[in-house]
Amino acid sequence: MVAESGYKGFYRGYLTTVMREIPFACIQFPLYEGMKDAWRKAQSGRLDSWQAAACGSLAGGFAACVTTPIDVTKTRLMLGKDKDGVPYKGMVNTMKRIHAEGGIPMLFSGVYPRTFWITLGGYVFFGAYEVAKRNLEGGAQAESEH
């Protein structure tokens, strides 16, 4: 890597990674909070940790699906060159080349496993987050009562 691209080669695709994470988070977190609010209202104000985890799981899966073209572009940029050895140059150029290769389906290459794993991971992540949050809030309430 260093011989071919220098040390900056280690950061190839970094900007595109950031460009993927921003829309991902802007989709995932509002959906997560909105689904939690709707579910909480539907059952008179109480939401179990597993229910919040399910909301996070669905929100993450949807965000993963929608942002897959950016993820595919990021991966190609990180690889550096196409199968013919032609270097990828920038996010927009790379996305256009991927589209020219196989249209919209090519931009969504790997959407099913990406969506599956992020959905699964979202359940674990948001479940752990909600349990930790409840434990910390419970600990703070117990301390303030003394």
In tens, the pLDDT along 113-136 reads 999 999 999 999 999 999 999 899
| Residue extents of the structural domains in the chain | 2-145
pLDDT over threshold 70, residue 143 = no
For 2-145, the fitting CATH number among 3.40.50.1000, 1.50.40.10, 3.30.450.20, 3.40.190.10 is 1.50.40.10
Distance of alpha carbon 77 from alpha carbon 17, whole angstroms: 10
Tell me the percentage of the chain whose pLDDT exceeds 90: 60
Task: Say what the pLDDT of residue 107 is.
Answer: 96
Which tokens belong to 133?
A: 């949050």
For 47-74, what is each residue's pLDDT tens digit? 899 999 999 999 999 999 999 999 999 9
Residues 10, 102, 66, CA angle at the centre, nearest 5°? 65
pTM: 0.82
Distance of alpha carbon 104 from alpha carbon 22, whole angstroms: 21
Q: What are phi and psi of 12, to 5 degrees?
A: -60, 130
Q: Please give the distance of CA 14 from its chain centroid, rounded to a whole number.
A: 15
Residue 86 is given by DSSP the state: P
For 68-103, what is each residue's pLDDT tens digit? 999 999 999 888 888 888 888 889 999 999 999 999
> For residues 117 and 18, which has the higher predicted lDDT (pLDDT)?
117
Q: Count of residues for the chain?
A: 146
Window from 20-34, 35-49, 59-73, 132-146 with minimum mean pLDDT: 132-146
Task: Say what the pLDDT of residue 92 is.
Answer: 92
Which residue in 101, 26, 111, 27 sits closest to 69, CA to CA?
Answer: 111
Q: Which residues of 43-52 are buried (b: 16+ CB within 10 A; e: fewer)?
A: eeeebebebb
Which tokens belong to 4?
A: 């071919």
Tell me the percentage of the chain whose pLDDT exceeds 70: 87
